[in-house]
Amino acid sequence: MGGDGATTAGQAPQASAGEGQGGWHGLAADLAGDRQMFRVSWGKAMMWIFLLSDTFIFGSFLTGYMSVRIAATTPWPNPSEVFALTIAGQHLPLILIAVMTFVLITSSGTMALAVNYAYRRERGRCAALMMTTAAFGALFVGMQAFEWSKLIAEGVRPWGNPMGSAQFGASFFMITGFHGMHVTAGVIYLLVVARRVLAGRYESTGNYDIVEIAGLYWHFVDLVWVFIFALFYLW
Amino acid sequence: MSTATEAVPAADAHQQHPLGLYFKIWGLLFLLSALSYMVDVFQLQGALRWTLIVALMLAKAGLIVAVFMHLRWERLVLICVVVVPPAALLVLAGLMVLESDYVFTARMLYFR
């Protein structure tokens, strides 16, 4: 709480019960008191609640995909082969998705470092790392555009494809499309925040929570990809 | 990087941790991703494949949420708000497995 400008104004006085307690006692005290519960800035709490809602959207999409795949009576295309590439005469199964996975994990690493440097108030490094993160994100979206173009050229459509079950196309475009949209929005979000950090907008208050909040969004995008990678591409 | 941890009054103030921690988790995520890619490269099948896919997926998800998103340093009430509701999705997934098995059987019996 202390020193956090966003949470001090207009707050009811903090009850002393449960102050500083962790674990189950802290949880009971937090829920029982008529006061602020999470002890994080409102922006961070709101981002968590937004991400929770997004979890339900992606969870429902993946569950729907699982249902149509189990219920399909035609053979499901083998993702290992669908996403294979031939590079320098070498046939590499699933290589495109593997590279995309590593790009996204790398971007998550640079984002974590950016949050660290934000709290150290090294705004140049913070902004540079955020822009690096955004660049990796843009690279990911670029590779996804390549992946989509390749599949569309091979005749994959939301209503069918030449390799097997029609449900493959519907699931593929819906799930990867929605994830790609999140990455694109994240790239823009990161660039906007990075520009503000660089311009010194948060220097006067010293409140760099916004970088962590943007980081939460970015790590969530990476998190969703972990599930898509496992359930869509490895299944 | 000892400077990272000094002058941090409490875990709920600012999430600042040693840089080395992030590099370790980063490396671990790379390793786990490489292993899950290996599952496909070696074309493992059956229960072994599924155990590995799900275990690696949950390990990666756990690392990202706990360390990169700093959830392990948040208060339990926030952890519960974030972690408990998605459990409902597991119930949905379980119900849909039963449902889609039924749809598959019905299609095989009547619609082929």
In whole angstroms, give the CA distance from residue A40 to residue B68. 16
Structurally, at CATH architecture level, domain A39-233 sits in Up-down Bundle (1.20)
With CB atoms and an 8 Å threshold, state whether A111 touches B40: no
- pLDDT for the residue numbered A9: 43
With CB atoms and an 8 Å threshold, state whether B68 touches A111: yes
pLDDT at B14 over 80: no
Distances in whole angstroms, Cα of residue A130 to Cα of each of A112, B8, B62, B93, B108: 9, 23, 23, 36, 52
ipTM confidence score: 0.86
Cβ contacts of A209 on chain B, cutoff 8 Å: 14
- pLDDT tens, residue by residue, A79-118: 888 888 888 888 888 899 999 999 999 999 999 999 999 9
In whole angstroms, give the CA distance from residue A168 to residue A68. 9
Strand A85-87 vs strand A90-92: parallel, antiparallel, or unpaired?
Answer: antiparallel
In whole angstroms, give the CA distance from residue B112 to residue B99. 19
Tens place of pLDDT for every residue, chain A, 235 residues? Answer: 444 444 444 444 454 555 667 888 888 887 777 777 778 888 999 999 999 999 999 999 999 999 999 999 999 999 888 888 888 888 888 899 999 999 999 999 999 999 999 999 999 999 999 999 999 999 999 999 999 999 999 999 999 899 999 999 999 999 999 999 999 999 999 999 999 999 999 988 889 999 999 999 999 999 999 999 999 999 8
Smallest Cα distance from A7 to chain B, Å = 11
With CB atoms and an 8 Å threshold, state whether A56 touches B56: no
Cross-chain CB nearest to B69 (options A60, A68, A219): A219
Interfacial A residues in 90-149 facing B (CB < 8 Å): 93-94, 98, 101-102, 105-106, 108-109, 111-113, 115-116, 119-120
Query: Residue A92 pairs with which residues in a beta bridge?
Result: A85
Cross-chain CB nearest to A102 (options B30, B40, B100): B30
In whole angstroms, give the CA distance from residue B18 to residue B41. 35
* H-only helix segments in B1-112: 19-41, 46-63, 76-83, 87-110
Radius of gyration of chain A, Cα coordinates, nearest whole angstrom: 22
Q: Which two tokens stand for residue A99?
A: 């590279």
Q: Which two tokens stand for residue A205?
A: 């208050």
Distances in whole angstroms, Cα of residue A113 to Cα of each of A128, A144, B36, B58: 10, 25, 25, 23
Q: Which two tokens stand for residue B85?
A: 């509701």
With CB atoms and an 8 Å threshold, state whether A112 touches B104: no
In whole angstroms, give the CA distance from residue A194 to residue A123. 9
Mean pLDDT of B73-81: 91
- pLDDT tens, residue by residue, B80-112: 999 999 989 999 999 999 999 999 999 999 986
Q: Which residue of B has its CA nearest to A37?
A: B77
With CB atoms and an 8 Å threshold, state whether A219 touches B64: yes
With CB atoms and an 8 Å threshold, state whether B33 touches A120: no
With CB atoms and an 8 Å threshold, state whether B30 touches A105: yes
Radius of gyration of chain B, Cα coordinates, nearest whole angstrom: 20
With CB atoms and an 8 Å threshold, state whether B108 touches A73: yes
What are the sequence ranges of the domains in chain B?
A: 17-73, 75-112
- pLDDT for the residue numbered B10: 42
Which of A155-159, A203-207, B4-8, B9-13 is least confident?
B4-8
What are the sequence ranges of the domains in chain A?
A: 1-33, 39-233
User: What b/e readout covers B68-97, taking b as 16+ CB neighbours within 10 angstroms?
Assistant: bbbbeebbbbbbebbeeeeeebeeeeeebe
Cβ contacts of B15 on chain A, cutoff 8 Å: 115, 119, 212
Cβ contacts of A112 on chain B, cutoff 8 Å: 22, 25-26, 67-68
